[in-house]
Amino acid sequence: MMKFLLALLLTTIVKGFVPSSSTRQGSMLYSTAEEVAIEPKDAVKLFGRLAEKYIMLDESGGMCCYSACKDCEYRLPDGGYKMADQSAARPKWIPVYEERSFAGQNKEHKAKWTTEIFTEGPSVTKEEFVSALTEMQYAPPLGGPFVGATAAQIEDTAAAEKLFDILAGEKEKLARFKMSLQLKELSGGEQGLTWKDFAAAMGV
């Protein structure tokens, strides 16, 4: 009788330590979501759609004569100058702002992601974000492995979905202003997100 009771007790204890099927499944799903590996070229396909050749920086920069004047208020600590804007031969920056204008210089710019992702309103679902991003025009950007325009089709949307999760956090929708804030954070406070910081955010 004692052996029977002991065996019964041991069986009950063992069952108590075996996770339920729902618990195991939940853990597997969480692990899969956290461990999505993105290939560098897949990240480049996204960056090349979002990045631009032109970016607006500091309105006061356009007031400098760029003559290396002593104690110039428009010089940077490293010896460079504050710039009103910058241009590159190939897409280099994802602007962190939605739109920007320098009235005194008659300059204005609206970020590409603003006009091509948020076409129907101030927020998008993951499905809408991925669809819009996939359809954006691609150009080989500065940074990352080279991917030509003919090879830039997005067939696997895993990278685009991961980018949505990075920008939206745990929200079901990504608001336009939230995307601006997240890009600013990812850029380390700069006015444009470059490939280096974009790649770091995507884990490549």
Number of H helices, E strands in the chain: 8, 8
User: CA 186 to CA 192: how far, in whole Å?
Assistant: 9
Per-residue pLDDT of the chain (204 residues; tens, 9 = 90+): 544 444 544 454 444 444 444 333 333 333 333 568 999 999 999 999 999 999 999 877 766 777 778 778 777 777 777 788 999 999 999 999 999 999 888 899 999 999 999 999 999 999 999 999 999 999 999 999 999 999 999 999 999 999 999 999 999 999 999 999 999 999 999 999 999 999 999 999
User: CA 73 to CA 69: how far, in whole Å?
Assistant: 9
pTM: predicted TM-score of the whole model, two decimal places: 0.79
pLDDT digits (tens, 9 = 90+) for 6-20: 454 445 444 444 444
Determine the angle formed by the axes of helices 40-50 and 195-202, rounding to 10 degrees. Answer: 130
User: CA 88 to CA 134: how far, in whole Å?
Assistant: 24
- Residue 78's pLDDT is what? 77
- Residue 34's pLDDT is what? 52
- Residue 138's pLDDT is what? 98
- Tell me the CA end-to-end span of the chain in Å, nearest whole number: 62
- Residue 82's pLDDT is what? 79
- Residue 114's pLDDT is what? 97
- Residue 21's pLDDT is what? 40
Cβ–Cβ < 8 Å for 86, 109: no
pLDDT digits (tens, 9 = 90+) for 142-176: 999 999 999 999 999 999 999 999 999 999 999 99
